[in-house]
Structure 1
Amino acid sequence: MTGTVLGEEIPPMEAVTSFLDRSVREMSDQLTQWLRIPSDSSDPNRAIDVLRSARWLAEAMRGIGLAATLHQTGETAAVYAEWLVDPALPTVLIYSHHDVRHAKPEQWQITAPFEPVVRDGRIFGRGASDAKGQVMAHLWGLRAHLAATGLERPAVNLKFLVEGEEETGSPHLEQFLQDHREQFACDVIVFSDTVQWTTDDPGVVTSMRGIVNASLQIEGPLRDVHSGTASGSAPNPAHVLARVITALQDADGRIQLPGFYDDVAPLGAARAAELAAVPFSEETWIARTESRSITGEEGHSVLERLWARPSLEILTLLAGDPDSSRSVIPAVAQATLSIRTVPAQRVEVVAQQLRDFVATVVPPSVTYTLDVSPENGQDPYTTPRGAAFDALVRSLAAGFGRSEVSRIGNAGGGPADLLVRMLDAPVLFLGTGLPEDHWHASDESVDIGMLTRGAASIARLWDELSRVDVAELS
């Protein structure tokens, strides 16, 4: 594919892939160096490491030619970088994060979480895929773009926002965007904290589910009570919590909050055809995700359950003393819940539905506290089809050497809707993760081939977007 960029001819894809093939070792070494910084934003003792991570990234960006600065957001730091070429050209904001999820070293079998190793074509370490690897693909995608074009500047205006508190729910992101709205102004947003489908078929992510998190605490006796003294007469909060959790879903996997499905639209014919075209087998999916079996809402395919239907998960349960059996009725039982939402569900509506439901299910024999904060939730988002989306499709196809790519979704959540609302620009999803990368779990890793092919796709995307009239991007 050839065309013109700023009066220059777009180079063949071979120039991009050749550069990246020569750079694999250097890219891998650079990522492993970054992964050694334990930028766990959930641990106050690691705040200095999150800052070190931001400084490392800013320096790496400056080495390419980007102007990078650090911004304090809460206890962590975000990195902003830019390369502004021409105001007449499209301006792209790349969003990702450099903080990582908390890791339990005793559960890691391949390597310690912050002692990265390369094995069988993969880089193992916390943040390898979520999301330092994705940021690294952007850095090398930009390098490849410059090397292939022979130009001294990118084909579009580039801005990077790589925050340092995504893994704790991005509590300061909205205010940060508000305070710097003019600086972050753009025509299109590339959201790089997501997955693709397989190493051969990247899959264009077209949507991201929303998320509503909640914690429920049931209080029974005023203190732990010996079961030999009060068993049979004292309220047991663990029993009550179990009944509440059981009542949340029926036997067919449908969520029982009154009115919950009022805003859930049936799958349209066009989207159904896209999901049907995604190569999928239940056996392969179970092996890739190590999920043992497939469950969920009856009457809907697995891919529909993942990307087009809402879901509810119990993330933690705690009651009594897990370290020893003291034969007591516990005073407190706790659970955390995660509800994934789809268009046109809204965080504040689902939060109120959950409050109303719990109020009717919890008996008066106990008291409870339900913490569900809409401001910490995230609404779902669907990328509009148009010139920007088509440019992404062409770029992924070129980067992975395919004539066509699947249309998939993201089962998780992220601040895509927030970015759109604050910056008034559409979001394109472009990540380098895979379902088998063990995000948030032990032995997280990233496929090196996914990094290079993702970088190649990114390099081509700047060429493709430069050929789109700015008015067609919104």
Structure 2
Amino acid sequence: MTSEIHSFLNAHRDQLAEELLGWLRLPSVGGMPEHVADVNRSAHWLAGALRGIGFPTVEIWPAGDAPAVYAEWCAAPGAPTVLIYSHHDVRAAKDEQWEETAPFEPVVRDGYVYGRGASDAKGQVVAHLWGLRAHLAATGRDAPAVNVKILVEGEEETGSAHLEGLLEEHRPQADLIVFSDTLLWRRDHPAVCLSMRGTMLGELEVYGPNRDVHSGAVSGPAPNPVIELANLIAELHDDKGRVTLPGFYDAVVEPSEQTRAELAALPYSDEDWLSRSDTRSIGGEEGFTVLERLWARPSVEVLTVAAGDPVGPSRAAVPAVATASLSIRTVPDQTIPEVAEQLRRHIEATISDTFEYKLTMTVDGGQEPYRTPRDLPAVEILAAAMEDGFGVPAGRMGNAGGGPADLLVRMVGAPLLFFGTGLPEDRWHDSDERAGLDVLIAGAATMASFWERLSHSRVTSEVPDYGENGTVAGGTPRVADQP
């Protein structure tokens, strides 16, 4: 049915674009009081779109100021049940930094849809909507060949504060989770994502004088928190790019030969990477390739530094406070509580006793890493569907970012597959965010094929046994060939 799927989607290319443009016009910025109404409108927009496809059950789940949308279409007795996860909230955007268009005045230009949320992650949800439409059109079915549930939350960009509570309250059951807030490698060389790093955020405040003090009066003997903060930041890495937190690498397993071979098989050059990522140069941990550093190794980044008078005329004062926000990306076998304790010990041992400080970390709200079981037969089913969708064999890759994948697995009790339509050059969280229409079409075709392929498989009933740190200790649910 591959040709029928592509014929349907190509014939409806303009409608797919118009649907996405309509949703992108709603500025559903997460975590900002002035956009609470917009996030609600975004949820209701999606609910209407799901009803329009044919979902018999569509619900708005309240979650603070950012509701989630839940839908299910379970009309295939005996077939697998799949829960699709994504999000409809977006990051804030600075209008003056956008050149192609204003962030919430989306346009189609040169084959790309420009607008905040085009790739992260409204475009990915729209690809699912059209994947289901194409699946129904190509098969002639009046309902999907598998049982489909969709959960699209409104708080992912601010840490998914209510997601665990929603899952606890509603208990959606599934045999498999498809996580759609992630990247491909390249349009001409897609890859199945097999892992996602964990994320922990921290904020470090260093205190110097009791208040901002004129430097002409105290410069020299006064404790300068900016200098001390700079020293602390510099001490986070050694001269080989390794993180210096005590015990940071104790639980880290080096990439296997299979993983290294899979990553090495992806088309890569420094020039291509620098061009697509806009990162100017390459740094990081020595002894590992760029892709291994991205997907198989942990990292510590400094996201913001603030002190003194960053805006407006300088008062020529030694600032009282200097602040840095940190982002730590973990890999499977590390846990966020352990890494948080390593950071705490490091700052405590490193900072001068001339200064006071405060370290705040998102330990409870942190997102643990997740790795899809390699022997999960659904991986190969997805790879075959991606070849149907993109027209070339799919490689293997990881995800450098973070998300609630581990939480979903623990709460739903099912294994998780990653599938998204983002690309490194889509400028997530940056100005001129975009999504390629051809990639969205290929992604929709992938899912249309996936549903039919998966309908000829079944999911066993084993549920993973999770230890205290959330890692799988026992069997893993798996998709298996039908006898």
Length-normalised TM-score, structure 2 = 0.94
In the alignment, is residue 248 of structure 1 matched against residue 254 of structure 2? no
Counterpart selection for 1:340 from 305, 308, 329: 329
**What whole-Å deviation, never above 9, does each CA across 1:350-409 have from its counterpart, x for those lacking one?**
01110111111111211111001211211111111221111111111111112x211011
In the alignment, is residue 410 of structure 1 matched against residue 416 of structure 2? no
Gapped regions of structure 2 (runs ≥ 5) = 461-477
**What whole-Å deviation, never above 9, does each CA across 1:417-441 have from its counterpart, x for those lacking one?**
0100111101101100000000000
Cα distance in 1 between the residues matched to 2:282 and 2:362: 31
Counterpart selection for 1:137 from 113, 120, 127: 127
Letter in 2 for 1:104: K
> Any residues of structure 2 matched to 1:6-405 within 5 Å, and which?
12-66=1-55, 67-181=57-171, 184-322=172-310, 323-385=312-374, 386-402=376-392, 404-405=393-394
> How far off its partner does 1:163 sit?
0.2
> How far off its partner does 1:89 sit?
1.1
CA contact (8 A) 1:310 1:339 kept: yes
Counterpart selection for 1:473 from 474, 479, 482: 479
CA contact (8 A) 2:59 2:70 kept: yes
SS at match of 1:304: helix
> How far off its partner does 1:40 sit?
0.3
SS at match of 1:375: coil
**What whole-Å deviation, never above 9, does each CA across 1:213-243 have from its counterpart, x for those lacking one?**
1000011111001111111111110011011
Length-normalised TM-score, structure 1 = 0.96
SS at match of 1:264: coil
Letter in 2 for 1:407: R
Cα RMSD for the two superposed structures: 0.9
SS at match of 1:112: coil
CA contact (8 A) 2:192 2:379 kept: no
Cα distance in 1 between the residues matched to 2:417 and 2:108: 30
**What whole-Å deviation, never above 9, does each CA across 1:125-184 have from its counterpart, x for those lacking one?**
000000000000000000000000001010000000000010001011111111111xx1
Cα distance in 2 between the residues matched to 1:285 and 1:141: 30
Match of 1:9 in 2: none
Identical counterparts, % of pairs: 56
Letter in 2 for 1:242: A
Letter in 2 for 1:92: V
Cα distance in 2 between the residues matched to 1:258 and 1:439: 32
SS at match of 1:393: helix
Counterpart selection for 2:450 from 461, 466, 469: 461
CA contact (8 A) 1:195 1:410 kept: yes
**What whole-Å deviation, never above 9, does each CA across 1:412-464 have from its counterpart, x for those lacking one?**
01100010011110110110000000000000000000000000000011111
CA contact (8 A) 2:295 2:399 kept: yes
Cα distance in 2 between the residues matched to 1:83 and 1:252: 52
Cα distance in 1 between the residues matched to 2:479 and 2:159: 29
CA contact (8 A) 1:210 1:378 kept: yes
Cα distance in 2 between the residues matched to 1:438 and 1:345: 28
> How far off its partner does 1:87 sit?
3.7
Cα distance in 1 between the residues matched to 2:373 and 2:387: 19
CA contact (8 A) 1:111 1:125 kept: yes
> How far off its partner does 1:39 sit?
0.2
> How far off its partner does 1:272 sit?
1.1
State how many pairs are aligned.
Answer: 460
Letter in 2 for 1:325: S
> How far off its partner does 1:258 sit?
0.4
> How far off its partner does 1:343 sit?
1.1
Cα distance in 1 between the residues matched to 2:357 and 2:313: 25
In the alignment, is residue 422 of structure 1 matched against residue 411 of structure 2? yes
CA contact (8 A) 1:205 1:407 kept: yes
> How far off its partner does 1:316 sit?
0.1
Query: 4+ residue runs of structure 1 moved beyond 4 angstroms?
Result: none
CA contact (8 A) 1:206 1:407 kept: yes
CA contact (8 A) 1:387 1:468 kept: no
